[in-house]
Structure 1
């Protein structure tokens, strides 16, 4: 049984109990990425550009972990809601096995494809020696990250959001402590950032092995057919995350074309800083999603509607406050991340535009988790591909000829608001359908 009763009638308190730990966990992730970039930024613009570009590559792999993880969390929660604990254990086992196989295959593929990948990323010529040394270690973090993500999501699906928070705190906290030791203390430079991540991941995965060994949670292998709902829910999210990563990569390449190496570093830093708000929001949504999935498994549509209503009422206002604070603090934050005046100026401009997108990001996210919990994969994919996919490219085509490199964060913000409009329309349409997903927009 989960450590939190997913059928608890005190819905607002339950949402906070599940959402806040996951929110804290991904806040630590965002903090780790910012700290990582700040330490590497002290080595110069070139190492920072390598870090930013290869982090984009990792996003494609992490998409696999998130896809399997979200599908597993939703399916496990639905099985528990239907009172089938054994099925939940079998779904967990199949999800872990799938993640392990994909992680191994991806690691081999990345090792063999180093040169094509670096060419695909348009790695600047002067950074190639540094990138070739950093790349093999980075691929290890990618493979371990897939398995770790599935562990996190599976625990959240069982209602153990606090355990997920603790392991994320362990991983990212240890990583931040080891960063200066490996980068400066051991003199490893940029490579030290990757070795710090590998070390923290191995420690965290060891904790997960012990935790999942408990009889009530121990994964088992059932029929391969149990993977079907996992993939139906998760693969659209994996596709949307992969497209988002591709969108970020394309934007960074455009920054290189229109502004050079320093523009890449500035936009990469701004995108990492914006994660300090968007990742916690995503964490809260991940924590709340099992409540929606459990309610669907129990056939309680009214509970789904109440949860959605609470989210739509409070999330945009909180996000507006966060956006205002980030806009006001853009310049001080930029000065912490880099000593180069041109990088600081560009980072400030990018960050202020991106801060404006945060309320829209929240509305789109609410629509996304609602569609995932209801197992509406096609609509979930349509919405997930919108902000950095089919809505971003027209915005880029419209704005770049007019504003050049400055148009990049403008286009991201514009596509975020258009995606929020799509989310509202989808919530409205599906709430009026014969099988509504919940609240009327």
Structure 2
């Protein structure tokens, strides 16, 4: 099949396949990718947890550094991907290839700058991230390897999103899953077999991430009718960066604030001992795994949303949004019940026999589980706003959970109500974010519905475009 024929087939698939079938087909590979990524993040915590409480705390401390690298990758990746999906909906393949290549090369450059600066100032860096004197040696050993891998780790997030937003989630899944499985295999070998301790976990991570990077780059060479990432197509101009930033800044705010909030969480938990830092790190990893399922499902929605918005199929955008909200709420409600019931067992999985860590972690996990279903609405709203280019609203919502609401709470509550303040700051922030997301998104949903009504060929009885109009388009 020629490139043109493959691209046309991809277009028809994205604008004609029934919404539930299309979203699920794109979501399943992404869910697998997100779960594997979360599993190997938890694998580091699990294996390092065998070394000691301070080592477990170190993984939580350095996680905020990884969040910074992710922020770079997601900003350029989500921004490029959102723009690409709209361009493909408009059938502008040449521009889409320029956007993809520009986002990729820029991630390599920015990641290299972070790596150099981080390695030069590594001790001040890990202290700033919240390392105590007992955690510092473990955190330094872990961070130095993560910084070495920063350029291609950031670029991998871009490649992953470029594939996803074209509707090629299966190719993204292959790259991420291969790296994740390799990480789980290498962790015990490097940590215990080679006696590298905490540093071994980080070395296993960057080797695995490099393998993922190579596979993802190979898969970004026109597979499945997709566009090609080429160094020769790198076009660093403002018109491209403006659109990348419009779609990507919400991810930057979200991921950047995740890093800052983790630092503040570690600093807030620090006065209550290494057990508190370790416990909150464990709870964060468990919920990240649970949330990755929703995130993967939502990421199956984003290319459908962006592609059909670019093709002016607003009826399909709305149907996809409400389908994902319903599925997301049910999914998180089930996981929340499991979190409340099995909280002790989940925390003990990482620090068995450490009664203090378990006691602190169980309380935090149950509070978080109670409000967990609200995240379904917030996440889908954020993805909708980001995919259709509503950058300002998407940015406000992205900053809300771990910035606007969480940061004041974690800075104030531990000083006023002690350890409980550390444990309930995030759940309270989640409730506030939900209340903000409702008015922000309802106005956009009304706007989309009005645009749908004005489309030629709109059928008010079925709330879809007529087949005749669809054929004409």
Q: Which residue of 2 aligns with 1:184?
A: 192
CA contact (8 A) 2:145 2:202 kept: yes
Cα shift readout 1:279-305 (whole Å, capped 9, x = no counterpart): 221122122101100111111211111
Q: Which residue of 2 aligns with 1:218?
A: 228
Q: Is residue 170 of structure 2 the alignment partner of residue 162 of structure 1?
A: yes
CA contact (8 A) 1:141 1:194 kept: no
Q: Is residue 351 of structure 2 the alignment partner of residue 341 of structure 1?
A: no
CA distance in 2, matches of 1:164, 1:122: 33
Cα shift readout 1:97-144 (whole Å, capped 9, x = no counterpart): 111111111111111221321231232112333333333112123332
How many residue pairs get aligned? The number is 438
For residues 238 and 412 of structure 1, do their structure 2 counterparts lie closer, same or farther at Cα, with a shift above 3 Å needed? same
Q: Is residue 301 of structure 2 the alignment partner of residue 288 of structure 1?
A: yes
CA distance in 2, matches of 1:131, 1:27: 25
Cα shift readout 1:62-120 (whole Å, capped 9, x = no counterpart): 10101111111111111111111222111111111111111111111111221321231
Q: Which residue of 2 aligns with 1:365?
A: 379
TM-score by length of 1: 0.94
Q: Which residue of 1 aligns with 2:396?
A: 382
For residues 228 and 189 of structure 1, do their structure 2 counterparts lie closer, same or farther at Cα, with a shift above 3 Å needed? same
Task: Give 3-state SS (helix, strand or coil) of 2:131's partner.
Answer: coil
Task: Give 3-state SS (helix, strand or coil) of 2:336's partner.
Answer: helix
Q: Is residue 269 of structure 2 the alignment partner of residue 255 of structure 1?
A: yes
Q: 1:331 aligns with which of 344, 358, 361?
A: 344
Cα shift readout 1:18-56 (whole Å, capped 9, x = no counterpart): 112111110111111122111100000111111110111
CA contact (8 A) 1:370 1:437 kept: no
Structure 1 gaps of 5+ residues are none
Cα shift readout 1:376-396 (whole Å, capped 9, x = no counterpart): 111111101111111124444
Q: Is residue 159 of structure 2 the alignment partner of residue 136 of structure 1?
A: no
Larger Rg: 2
Stretches (4+) displaced over 6 A: 434-439
Q: 1:102 aligns with which of 94, 106, 110?
A: 110
CA distance in 1, matches of 2:320, 2:448: 20
CA distance in 2, matches of 1:207, 1:110: 27
CA contact (8 A) 1:305 1:437 kept: no
TM-score by length of 2: 0.88
Q: Which residue of 1 aligns with 2:157?
A: 149
- After TM superposition, give the deviation of residue 357 of structure 1 in Å: 2.8
Q: Which residue of 1 aligns with 2:68?
A: 60
Which deviates further from its counterpart, 142-151 or 402-411? Answer: 402-411
Task: Give 3-state SS (helix, strand or coil) of 1:242's partner.
Answer: helix
Q: Is residue 442 of structure 2 the alignment partner of residue 428 of structure 1?
A: yes
CA distance in 2, matches of 1:417, 1:139: 35
Cα shift readout 1:243-277 (whole Å, capped 9, x = no counterpart): 122112201210112x1111101111111111111
For residues 428 and 199 of structure 1, do their structure 2 counterparts lie closer, same or farther at Cα, with a shift above 3 Å needed? same
For residues 129 and 373 of structure 1, do their structure 2 counterparts lie closer, same or farther at Cα, with a shift above 3 Å needed? closer
Q: Which residue of 2 aligns with 1:204?
A: 212
Task: Give 3-state SS (helix, strand or coil) of 2:14's partner.
Answer: coil
Which deviates further from its counterpart, 247-256 or 201-210? Answer: 201-210
CA distance in 1, matches of 2:299, 2:121: 33
Q: 2:29 aligns with which of 21, 29, 32?
A: 21
Cα shift readout 1:373-425 (whole Å, capped 9, x = no counterpart): 12111111110111111112444466435531122231211111211121111
CA contact (8 A) 2:61 2:126 kept: no
CA distance in 2, matches of 1:81, 1:344: 50
Q: Which residue of 2 aligns with 1:43?
A: 51
CA contact (8 A) 1:68 1:150 kept: yes
Q: Which residue of 1 aligns with 2:426?
A: 412
Which deviates further from its counterpart, 113-122 or 219-228? Answer: 219-228
CA distance in 2, matches of 1:70, 1:270: 27
Task: Give 3-state SS (helix, strand or coil) of 1:125's partner.
Answer: coil
Task: Give 3-state SS (helix, strand or coil) of 1:124's partner.
Answer: coil
Structure 2 gaps of 5+ residues are 1-5, 454-473
- After TM superposition, give the deviation of residue 309 of structure 1 in Å: 1.5
For residues 160 and 262 of structure 1, do their structure 2 counterparts lie closer, same or farther at Cα, with a shift above 3 Å needed? same
Q: Which residue of 1 aligns with 2:131?
A: 123
Q: Is residue 234 of structure 2 the alignment partner of residue 234 of structure 1?
A: no
For residues 223 and 203 of structure 1, do their structure 2 counterparts lie closer, same or farther at Cα, with a shift above 3 Å needed? closer
- After TM superposition, give the deviation of residue 237 of structure 1 in Å: 1.7
Q: Which residue of 2 aligns with 1:314?
A: 327
